[in-house]
Amino acid sequence: VNQILLLLLVLTVCAILYNKVHQVPLALRNETVDLESPEAMEEEIAVVICAAAGRMGAAVAAISSIYSNTEANVLFYIVGLKTTIPHIRKWIENSKLKEIKFKVVEFNPMVLKGKIRQDASRPELLQPLNFVRFYLPLLIQKHEKVIYLDDDVIVQGDIQELYDTKLAPGHAAAFSDDCDLPSTHEMIRSVGMQNTYMGFLDYRKQAIRDLGISPSTCSFNPGVIVANMTEWKHQRITKQLEKWMQRNVEENLYSSTLGGGVATSPMLIVFYGKHSSINPMWHIRHLGWSPDARYSEQFLQEAKLLHWNGRYKPWDYPSVHTDLWENWFIPDPSGKFKLTRPDS
């Protein structure tokens, strides 16, 4: 009996020593894994998209393209006005997008009171949701890093790659410069589009000249933003943007008759010399600038993100490269949103 007990003791000691030397992988242990713990959860990618009245099909197509092209853990923040929220929620919950993770956030346009100069030439640029990007920290609470996308985009790459964009120390955001891709230069020249600060700010005004920014400085497009919320809040970016909005109301420093309307210009001022760069293939722009000018199909197939900035949207007519957009469009179950096509 003593020999048997001694043998069992030796075997027990050996088993203990073996487990200390050869750690058993967590997945093979007979233990419950807390999937809610930060260590076990995959990092959540916050993507902000607006759902404006009359353009909800755009937001749906953008979300569809992102969701279909990634395995990442994406949480969509869909921002709307009180009157539009029920429509976009029903659209998502009654389509194949019901599988996505999303939060619907109401934007209160009262925060813009007294900060927008009325301009009748392009009233669509004055819509409240155009300014959501100014208020990201107020809408998104728990995320350190956030992606903001205009609704008129299609994502053909893995959104994880865009999320992994490196921001330099002290930078609150990353954008794509308007001079970054030789492939877009011919497009810009052909439609006479501005891609410098001269096209956005009124250099006849002393307040603009006092900034010391050369009018030939390359501009950037804030339709795609990778933002660091800690830096944004630390630098009081929202307050800086509001300051320039209010100055424009008083002094007319920029207007929608210039290249980028009223939402781009404050960002060009506030982020001048203080932003990181996004891979240019992650923001191919100007697809909506002309109903005639087109990119080569090969170039568009290689692009990670397509942006129909400009008047000619892919859900309207006329427009270009609409097939690339319609690949991701999901019809409105309520039938309220309809595509405009030559035969419709």
Lowest mean pLDDT among 55-69, 148-162, 185-199, 304-318: 185-199
Across all residues in the chain, what is the average pLDDT?
86
- Measured distance CA(344)–CA(342) in Å, rounded: 6
Residue 335 has pLDDT above 80, yes or no: yes
* pLDDT mean over 257-274: 84
Overall pTM surpassing 0.75 (yes/no): yes
Lowest mean pLDDT among 22-36, 133-147, 177-191, 311-325: 22-36
Contact 60, 302 (CB under 8 A): no
Contact 135, 266 (CB under 8 A): no
- Measured distance CA(29)–CA(24) in Å, rounded: 7
**pLDDT at residue 30, as a whole number:** 30
pLDDT band at 51 (very low <50, low <70, confident <90, very high): very high
Residue 41 has pLDDT above 60, yes or no: no
pLDDT tens figures, 98-115? 999 999 999 999 999 999
Residue 28 has pLDDT above 60, yes or no: no
Residue 27 has pLDDT above 70, yes or no: no
**pLDDT at residue 21, as a whole number:** 42
**Percent over 90 (pLDDT), the chain:** 69
Task: Identify which has the larger pLDDT, 28 or 209.
Answer: 209
* pLDDT mean over 74-87: 97
Class of domain 45-184+220-235+275-327: alpha beta
Cα torsion through 5, 10, 14, 15, rounded to 10: 0
- Measured distance CA(14)–CA(180) in Å, rounded: 64
Q: Which of 76, 81, 93 is nearest to 54 (CA)?
A: 81
Residue 314 has pLDDT above 90, yes or no: yes
Residue 24 has pLDDT above 70, yes or no: no
pLDDT tens figures, 129-161? 999 999 999 999 899 999 999 999 999 999 999
